[in-house]
Structure 1
Amino acid sequence: MTTALFSEDQRDALQELTNIGMGQAGASVAAVLGEFVQLSVPRILVLKPSLIPPALERIVGPEKVTAVRQGFHGDLRGEAVVVYGVAHCRELADLMGYDEVPDEATEHELLLDVSNVLIGACLGGLAEQISAEMGFSAPSLMATEVEVGSLLDVSRMDSPCALFVEVNFSLEKRSFACHLIMLLPEDQILVLRDAIDRFLASL
Structure 2
Amino acid sequence: MSIQPYNEDQRDALQEITNIAMGQAGSSLAQLLDVFVILSVPRVRIVGVEDVPDAVAEMVDDPEEVTAVRQAFYNKLRGETMVIFGRKGCADLADLMGHEEVQNSEDEEELLLDVTNILVGAVLNGLGEQIEVEFGFSPPAIMAMNTPIEKVLISDQLGWSHALLIEVNFSLEERGFKCYLIMLMPEESIDMMRQSLDHILESF
Q: What band does the TM-score fall into relative to the shorter chain?
A: over 0.9
Please list the CA deviations of residues 88-110 of structure 1 after superposition, one character each: whole Å capped at 9, or x if unmatched: 22211111112323321111111
Name the CA distance, whole Å, in 2 between partners of 1:156 and 1:139.
17
Tell me whether 157-166 or 97-106 shows the greater mean CA deviation.
97-106
Aligned-pair identity in percent equals 51
Name the CA distance, whole Å, in 2 between partners of 1:139 and 1:91.
20
Structure 1 unaligned segments of length 5 or more: list them. none
Please list the CA deviations of residues 110-152 of structure 1 after superposition, one character each: whole Å capped at 9, or x if unmatched: 1001111111111210111111121111111111011110101
Which consecutive aligned stretches of 4+ in structure 1 deviate over 4 angstroms post-superposition?
Answer: none
Counterpart for residue 47 of structure 1: 47
Please list the CA deviations of residues 162-188 of structure 1 after superposition, one character each: whole Å capped at 9, or x if unmatched: 001100000012111100000000111
Deviation at 1:156, TM superposition (A): 2.4
TM-score between the two structures when normalised by the length of structure 1: 0.95
Classify the secondary structure of the residue corresponding to 1:29.
helix
Name the CA distance, whole Å, in 1 between partners of 2:59 and 2:132.
30
TM-score between the two structures when normalised by the length of structure 2: 0.94
RMSD of aligned residue pairs (Cα, Å)? 1.5
Name the CA distance, whole Å, in 2 between partners of 1:11 and 1:100.
43
Structure 2 unaligned segments of length 5 or more: list them. none
Q: Map 1:141-180 to 2 at 5 A.
A: 141-180=142-181
Flag the 1:158–1:101 CA change in 2: closer, same or farther, 3 A.
Answer: closer
Aligned length: 202
